[in-house]
């Protein structure tokens, strides 16, 4: 932590500043909001100089690709004026936004930290206070990552998922270990967390906002086969398809419709990605006959990416117009640590 550090705080909405505090609820101006925040959490004064900008004030279920672009542009445009950035975000879609920013901001050289709260800042037993303190402190440390900081644990933005709507420990690392955690001191998982970058080396990241959000995600349920009538609408209306199957990526072949969908999608050069409903593990389409059948029809592996990251990587691939023949290599190549091996903390 460096007390002369400058941290940009971007507010998008969510539970953090909800209606129980009339000052925060009524705040229309950036400075009014910042004054209210510092009044509620005066400890931030001792951590860093802060500047706040209201990007939006929405329920995070309304987040879309335009908000992701706005956040990325704001961070990029203000790059030279701060040492780190904190984004206050609703928890429901925070993992999607973290993945989007991880892909938009290539070659990141400063911390970008997302946080929020399960209970509003004005409530008793709120988690908002600790979360914003941890996030601002983390933003001063120089680690060049997009991160989610929540309940004293730090996760890589492209490897995080929301796991609970009830517990304060709301997030988990998907197929990986956390980057670190706050206790008496901040403990870093040195095997995966990128080393802090000196101020004089913090050049701007490259900004690539190309994205195509017209994708769908389908869950396979035993005994509930895909209808033939759905195949044509799916390949007509969507530019990418993710199917969450079982285990290491097995989909049913009994009724043949899933195979037909894979064939039809491949014929139209629509990426057909197989993911798993399992919480841990990786996709291996060559372990079983069913997986091999889909691989032979052009299906792609989702590797060990969680749904949030997988969805964004597919949108990014489509937006960047990666040639269809290169889709497998694109998905297997980490852009922001999203499909790297696990490391223990």
Strand order in the sheet with 300-301: 215-219, 240-245, 272-276, 300-301
* pLDDT of res. 19: 53
Assigned token pair, 125: 């037993």
* pLDDT of res. 87: 98
* pLDDT of res. 22: 52
Neighbours of 286 (CB within 10 A): 11
CB neighbour class for 58 (10 Å; exposed up to 12, middle 13-18, buried from 19): middle
* pLDDT of res. 344: 39
Rounded CA separation 241/299 (Å): 10
* pLDDT of res. 99: 98
Is residue 144 within 8 Å of residue 75, measured between CB atoms? no
Rounded CA separation 119/142 (Å): 28
Domains of the chain, each with CATH number or no CATH: 6-207 (3.40.50.1170), 215-332 (3.40.50.40)
| pTM across the whole model | 0.94
Rounded CA separation 1/7 (Å): 11
Which stretches of the chain score pLDDT less than 50?
Answer: 20-21, 342-345
Alpha helices of the chain — where are they, by DSSP H? 22-26, 30-40, 65-77, 94-104, 128-139, 228-237, 257-267, 289-296, 307-319, 327-332
Is residue 283 within 8 Å of residue 249, measured between CB atoms? yes
């Amino acid at each position: 932590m460096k007390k002369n550090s400058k941290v940009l705080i971007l507010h998008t909405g969510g539970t953090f500043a909800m209606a129980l505090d009339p000052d925060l609820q009524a705040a229309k101006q950036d400075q009014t909001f910042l004054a209210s925040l510092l009044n509620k959490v005066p400890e931030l004064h001792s951590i860093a100089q802060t500047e706040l900008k209201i990007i939006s004030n929405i329920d995070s279920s309304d987040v879309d690709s335009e908000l992701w672009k706005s956040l990325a542009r704001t961070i990029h445009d203000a790059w030279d004026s701060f040492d780190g950035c904190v984004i206050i975000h609703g928890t429901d879609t925070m993992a999607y936004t973290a993945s989007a920013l991880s892909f938009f901001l290539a070659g990141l050289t400063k911390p970008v930290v997302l946080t929020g709260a399960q209970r509003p800042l004005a409530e008793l037993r709120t988690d908002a206070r600790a979360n914003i303190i941890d996030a601002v402190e983390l933003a001063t440390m120089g680690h060049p990552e997009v991160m989610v900081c929540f309940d004293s644990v730090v996760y890589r933005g492209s490897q995080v998922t929301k796991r609970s709507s009830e517990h304060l420990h709301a997030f988990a690392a998907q197929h990986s270990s956390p980057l670190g955690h706050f206790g008496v001191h901040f403990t870093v998982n040195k095997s995966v967390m990128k080393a802090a970058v000196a101020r004089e080396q913090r050049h701007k990241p490259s900004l690539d906002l190309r994205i195509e959000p017209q994708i769908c995600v389908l869950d396979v349920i035993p005994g509930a086969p895909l209808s033939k009538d759905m195949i044509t609408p799916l390949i007509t209306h969507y530019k990418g398809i993710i199917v969450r199957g079982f285990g290491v990526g097995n989909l049913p072949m009994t009724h043949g419709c899933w195979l037909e969908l894979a064939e039809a999608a491949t014929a139209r050069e629509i990426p057909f990605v197989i993911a798993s409903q399992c919480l841990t593990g990786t996709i291996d389409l060559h372990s079983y006959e069913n997986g091999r059948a889909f691989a032979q029809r052009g299906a792609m592996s989702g590797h060990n990416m969680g749904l949030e990251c997988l969805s964004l990587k597919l949108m990014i691939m489509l937006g960047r117009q990666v040639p269809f023949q290169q889709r497998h290599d694109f998905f297997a190549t980490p852009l922001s640590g999203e499909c790297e091996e696990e490391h223990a903390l």
